[in-house]
Chain A
Amino acid sequence: MSAGSPKTSKMEVTQDLEGAFELFVEASKALESQQLVLQAQLGELSKELVEANARLSSLLNSLPAGVVLVENGIVIDFNPAAQHFIPELERLAQWSTPKRWKASNGPGQFLVSTENTQQYLQLEEVQSGLRSVIQIQDITSAIANHAEKERVDRLAAMGKMSAGIAHQLRTPLSTALLYASHLSDASISEEQKHTFAQRLKTQLMNLEKLAGNMLLFIKERPKQLSPVPVDTLLNEACEAIGALCESQNITLKRDFQSAGIVINVEKQSMVSALVAILENALQVTQSGQIIEISSKSLPGRVQIVIDDQGPGIAPDMMDTLFEPFSTSRITGTGLGLSIARTAIESHRGEIAVSNRDGGGARFTITLPSLTEL
């Protein structure tokens, strides 16, 4: 094939250029119209974004919970509720909980006290990489409801236990009355009268202990909470029961793995609860046997376990063991474990009982812990 003449070639080039130009114009027009479409879409999307932002803002603004967005420890944004809880909150400032917030029961719970008011706050943090969302909620009424429910439950239990009270009061009272009636009997020797007076006194002391325990049982939830190391509570409870264990040749073995763990408690109430459970263990333990009290730290909680080598809990007693006067034992007031449960639950803790594989009962107490020291 021979090459075309230069004239033909120039004409062809011109035609090609014209074709290309037409294509360019067409493509430009297409691009222009596409750009218009994209611009329109961008406008729409921007509008939607603004609307979504507005919706999100109004949602955050109307939330009763405070929300703070923190990035790398710096406050990036927050809603008005967050500012209500922390008036001094500022963007780009370092995030920290205010010093006036005192740690309360349970992880993330704080008590904010002013002269006339007390407010309980719950702080929850959701972390995603360096960014975290902190949520602050007012749980004062939830705590009040919890206290009210506890009071109602206790009153209901008091009603249920009236039959038990009758038994617990009238049995020592019968003994006391029988001995009292002999004191005025002229035919009885002075020595016998002395013995009967002693027995009468013992029964009256039992009645006094029962009355004291009943008052403890109906007591309101603890109000004087203070941070106490778990080991202090455990050691005080062990010391309270130590002499009794020794006199009965029972070994009280301690295995505390909770050094440095602090819980917010009414100290005496919690020590009494632990002593009541140890006393219960003591009553079923024989000379030469061991009662073991151990503790360990769990995330946000501390667990205390009391093991005995007694006969264990009868299956029909399992469900009612912590109810007032559910005891099948002859000794004791029948209120010790009920008081212990009331004290533990009022500290937002839990108590459970089980029978151990090797025999004996296990009481497991879980309490919310504060931060480690």
Chain B
Amino acid sequence: MSLPPVLVVEDDDALREAIGVTLSLKGIDCKLVDRAELAIGLIEPGYPEILITDFRLPGMNGIELLKEARRIAPDLPVVVMTAYADAKLAVEALRSGARDFLIKPLSQNSSLKSLAAIKRSPPLAPARNHTISRKLLPQIRQLLPS
């Protein structure tokens, strides 16, 4: 039996389950894990189709996971979630190859839109990623080299 196409890494039990429920209600199957180290064990070239990870995790954090995941599977689209509205963190995530950066609190719309955009489009350069939170976009533009 093959693994679900979306891999979610979130350490908060309740939120992890809520993300799982939200995605499955929209017909998206996902594998849920609570630590980056567990996700690393599952990632291989071609799996998963999308990786969604929290930034703050016990042990390895979301950006470290992102870098390691992209080393194993260079084309893997990764979405980083965080509660910190921190432009520097968003830039670091995008520079490290994240396809999107979601700020908590997550809403159903923003999460699904992000996934839909990733499924629709080929990888984009970070500065052109149109699914980035609107709130952070002006700050990110200032920080990115022109």
Contacts and interface: CB of A to CB of B under 8 A. Distances in A.
B105 A173 contact: yes
A168 B12 CA distance: 10
Contacts of A168: 83
Given A170-B104, A177-B108, A185 B11 contact: no
Interface in B58-101: 58, 83-86
Interface of A: 163, 166-179, 181-182, 185, 187-188, 196, 199, 202-203, 206, 328, 330-331
A173 B58 contact: no
B12 to A, nearest CB: 5
Contacts, number: 76
A167 B21 contact: no
Contact of B14 (A163, A166, A185, A199): A199
Contacts of B86: 163
Given A182-B21, A328-B58, A175 B84 contact: no
A177 B11 contact: no
B4 to A, nearest CB: 18
A167 B84 contact: yes
Nearest to B111: A178
Contact of B18 (A170, A178, A187, A188): A178
B136 to A, nearest CB: 14
B: interface residue count bin:
20 to 34
B107 interface: yes
A234 to B, nearest CB: 33
Contacts of B103: 170
A169 B12 CA distance: 12
Contact of B106 (A163, A178, A187, A188): A178
Given A167-B56, A173-B104, A181-B107, A330 B12 contact: yes
B18 A171 contact: no
Contact of B22 (A166, A178, A203): A178
A169 B103 CA distance: 12
Contacts of B11: 330
A203 to B, nearest CB: 6
A170 B105 contact: yes
